[in-house]
Amino acid sequence: MKIAWMGCCLMLGVAAAAPARADMDEAFGNTIISHYPNGQWVKHFFEPDGRYASQFSDGRQLSARWSREGDKICLTGFRPRQILPRFCSRMVEADVGDSWQARDPLGRSIRNELVAGRR
């Protein structure tokens, strides 16, 4: 099953997007956690209807809309507003328990992990 990795969504902005369910089933009801080398983390939550939310280790929260665009997942419509209007990342093959290396929107190295349930 494919899911999208999402990095830290610090610097994102606003727009609208339609939901896209395809290849995201493993993400629904589970949590993607982006781990930073300094110990910080971001938890990412995807809903089948196109809603997205994230929770940062420092307590900040973000919401957005997600949509599939080819082999990428894109986030738009951020609340609160951010600097970048959108952020897209490539989809990767992952099941619960898998982890993979990636980069966040600022180019920093992160390790993403798909964990069971909402944490």
**How does pLDDT run across 48-102, given as a tens digit for each residue?**
999 999 999 999 999 999 999 999 999 999 999 888 889 998 888 889 999 999 9
66: left (phi over 0), alpha (psi -120 to 50) or beta: beta
Mean pLDDT of 10-37: 64
What is the C-alpha to C-alpha distance for residues 14 and 65, in angstroms, rounded to an integer? 9
Decide: 61 and 54 in contact? Cβ < 8 Å.
yes
What is the C-alpha to C-alpha distance for residues 93 and 100, in angstroms, rounded to an integer? 10
